Amino acid sequence: MGGQVSIPADIRRRWGTNRVVIEDQGDRLVVKPLPDDPIAAARGALKGEITVPTEELRRIARRDEQIAEDRKWRKSSTRTRSSR
């Protein structure tokens, strides 16, 4: 059997998309529109939800990246010494 579903053009135009997601809810399928550009559609979705200032988030991200880099170099130098 095939696996295609046709969504009429007028519905696709009204939804403003050519993409959909189908959710299996057990006793029914729910068809929901997906944005053609999900990144643009997500902009602003968390506005008011994040209370940490942007600069603080950047500082934390830089610290986490530095910790990861330090671990990587420690592992690398341990392997080099142990292979001699």
Domain ranges within the chain, ordered by starting residue? 1-45, 52-84
Range 33-54 average pLDDT: 85
At residue 83, does pLDDT exceed 80? no
Encode pLDDT of 14-27 as tens digits: 998 888 889 999 99
The model carries a pTM of: 0.43
Enter the DSSP assignment of 6.
-
Adjacent-strand bridge partners of 20: 33
Contact yes or no for 32/23 (Cβ under 8 A) = yes
Average pLDDT over residues 31-50: 85
One-letter amino acid at 76 equals S
SS3 content of the chain, % helix, strand, coil (to 5): 50, 15, 35
pLDDT band at 11 (very low <50, low <70, confident <90, very high): very high
**Across residues 31-39, what is the average pLDDT?**
87
